[in-house]
Amino acid sequence: MSILIENISKHFGQFAALDHINLEIPDGELVALLGPSGCGKTTLLRIIAGLESADEGRIFLSGEDKTSQHVSRRGIGFVFQHYALFRHMTVFDNVAFGLRVKDKKERPSETDIAKKVHNLLELVQLDWLHDRFPDQLSGGQRQRIALARALAVEPSVLLLDEPFGALDASVRKDLRQWLRNLHKELHVTSIFVTHDQEEAMEVASQVVVLNKGHIEQQGAPADIYDHPANAFVSKFIGQTNVLNLNEDNVIWLKTAGIAVDDSKGNVAHIRPHDIDVKKADADSDSPVTLKDWQHLGSLIRVELYRPQDNGSGTYLFAEMPNERFKLLQLNKGDRVALHIKHAHWFNS
Residues that bind another protein (CB under 8 A): 49-51, 70-74, 76-78, 80, 82, 84-88, 97-98, 101-102, 146, 149-150, 152-153
Of 41 and 306, the one with the shorter C-beta distance to another protein is: 41
Q: Are strands 267-270 and 344-346 parallel, antiparallel or unpaired?
A: antiparallel
Q: Can you list the positions of beta strands (E) in the chain?
A: 3-12, 15-25, 30-34, 56-61, 64-65, 76-79, 157-161, 189-194, 206-211, 214-219, 241-244, 267-270, 275-279, 289-295, 299-307, 313-321, 336-340, 344-346
CB 78, min distance to another protein, A: 4
Of 71 and 222, the one with the shorter C-beta distance to another protein is: 71
CB 135, min distance to another protein, A: 9
Strand ranges of the sheet holding 344-346, from the earlier edge strand across to the other edge: 241-244, 267-270, 344-346
Distance, in Å, from the CA atom of 53 to the CA atom of 67, rounded to the nearest integer, reads 8
CB 94, min distance to another protein, A: 9
Of 79 and 179, the one with the shorter C-beta distance to another protein is: 79
CB 261, min distance to another protein, A: 45
Of 10 and 74, the one with the shorter C-beta distance to another protein is: 74
Distance, in Å, from the CA atom of 86 to the CA atom of 37, rounded to the nearest integer, reads 27
| DSSP classification of residue 109 | P
Count of CB atoms within 10 A of residue 37's CB? 8
Of 78 and 293, the one with the shorter C-beta distance to another protein is: 78
Of 66 and 344, the one with the shorter C-beta distance to another protein is: 66
CB 271, min distance to another protein, A: 30
CB 80, min distance to another protein, A: 5
Of 86 and 128, the one with the shorter C-beta distance to another protein is: 86
CB 145, min distance to another protein, A: 12
H and E: helices and strands count for the chain: 10, 18
Distance, in Å, from the CA atom of 297 to the CA atom of 282, rounded to the nearest integer, reads 31
Distance, in Å, from the CA atom of 237 to the CA atom of 227, rounded to the nearest integer, reads 11
Distance, in Å, from the CA atom of 155 to the CA atom of 66, rounded to the nearest integer, reads 14
Of 100 and 339, the one with the shorter C-beta distance to another protein is: 100
Distance, in Å, from the CA atom of 82 to the CA atom of 163, rounded to the nearest integer, reads 8
CB 331, min distance to another protein, A: 12
Instruction: Classify residue 332 by burial, with Cβ atoms within 10 Å: 0-12, 13-18, 19+.
Output: exposed
